[in-house]
């Protein structure tokens, strides 16, 4: 898939994991740290990936350096010293280090996003109008009413990337993205809305992984 060379990714891993008893990126899921599950799917379409850390940066850097040769993507780890101000500061720090105009944004604590979902979003981006500058994967969350829920990874285009880099205030990413035309792309991957925030989420993730293995 030659189009992967046109896409970069940032994976946000700066948080304190305050609602977990352990550091989330390094928490094990079926014998592999959660972070590596997230990296694996993103690396299927991205030439380069920037992992943005903050809290526990030494452990994060070590985890990346010990495993980055396992992925086809060029993977780097950077520190956002301002991570406590909010997620947007990590997005801006990561975006500025990416090599391409098209950038996927995802969270390190969402290990169930499928590689196929990334590929579908990429294909949708390539075949759709250039005026669609933000693409959100979405899933039908309430089948009885056909209500949908947006998730990750978000894909942004060149003008959005430039706008994020130039923003100097501590704002909310969602508010910046609203300035641009967005398009929702329906997928069947429930992993786009499955993040791990608490111990209960972690237990649910382990059970869900076992379910997927035995399907």
pLDDT value, residue 162: 97
Identify which of 181, 46, 178, 167 has the alpha carbon closest to the alpha carbon of residue 102.
46
| Chain segment 179-209, per-residue pLDDT in tens | 999 999 999 999 999 999 999 999 999 998 8
Question: Which pLDDT score is estimated for 213?
Answer: 73
The 10s digit of each residue's pLDDT in 123-154 is 999 998 889 999 999 999 766 667 899 999 99
What is the rounded radius of gyration, in angstroms, for the C-alpha atoms of the chain? 16
pLDDT of residue 143: 66
> Residue 10's pLDDT is what?
98
Q: What's the confidence (pLDDT) of residue 130? A: 87
| Residues 2-56: tens digit of each pLDDT | 677 799 999 999 999 889 988 999 999 999 999 999 999 999 999 999 999 999 9
What's the pTM?
Answer: 0.94
Contact 126, 181 (CB under 8 A): no
Tell me the residue ranges of DSSP E strands in 16-101.
28-29, 32-33, 48-53, 74-79
Burial class (CB in 10 A: 0-12, 13-18, 19+), 146: exposed
Alpha-carbon dihedral sign for residues 136, 73, 23, 165:
negative
pLDDT exceeds cutoff 60 at 1: no
Tell me the average pLDDT of the chain: 93
pLDDT digits (tens, 9 = 90+) for 114-127: 999 999 999 999 99
Break the chain into its structural domains and give their ranges: 2-213
Fold of 2-213: Spore Coat Polysaccharide Biosynthesis Protein SpsA; Chain A (3.90.550)
Question: Looking at residue 138, what is its pLDDT?
Answer: 96
Pairing of strands 102-107, 48-53: unpaired
Peptide bond into 70 cis (omega under 30): no
- DSSP-derived 3-state class of residue 111: coil
Tally of helices (H runs) and strands (E runs) in the chain: 7, 10
Question: Residue 192's closest CA among 135, 153, 140?
Answer: 153
CB–CB of 73/9 below 8 Å? yes
Asked if residue 91 has pLDDT above 90, the reply is yes
Q: Tell me the pLDDT band of 178, cut-offs 50, 70 and 90.
A: very high
Instruction: Name the region of 146 (left: φ>0; alpha: ψ -120 to 50; beta: rest).
Output: left
- pLDDT (mean) for 158-163: 97
């Amino acid at each position: 898939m030659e189009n992967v060379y046109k896409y970069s990714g940032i994976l946000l891993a700066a948080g304190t994991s305050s609602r977990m008893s352990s550091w989330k990126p390094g928490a094990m899921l079926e014998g592999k740290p959660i972070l590596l599950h997230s990296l694996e799917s993103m690396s299927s379409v991205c030439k380069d990936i920037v992992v943005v850390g903050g809290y526990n940066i030494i452990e994060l850097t070590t985890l990346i350096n010990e495993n980055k040769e396992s992925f086809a993507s060029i993977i780097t780890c950077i520190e956002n010293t301002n991570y406590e101000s909010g997620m947007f500061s990590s997005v801006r720090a990561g975006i500025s280090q990416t090599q391409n105009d098209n950038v996927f944004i995802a969270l390190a604590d969402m290990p169930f996003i499928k590689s196929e979902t990334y590929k579908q979003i990429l294909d949708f981006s390539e075949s759709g109008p250039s005026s669609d500058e933000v693409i959100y994967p979405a899933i039908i969350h309430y089948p009885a009413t056909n209500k949908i829920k947006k998730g990750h990874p978000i894909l942004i285009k060149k003008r959005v990337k430039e706008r994020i880099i130039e923003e100097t205030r501590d704002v909310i990413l969602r508010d910046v993205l609203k300035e641009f035309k967005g398009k929702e792309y329906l997928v069947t991957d429930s992993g786009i809305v499955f993040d791990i925030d608490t111990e209960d989420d972690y237990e649910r993730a382990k059970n869900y992984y076992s379910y997927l293995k035995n399907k």
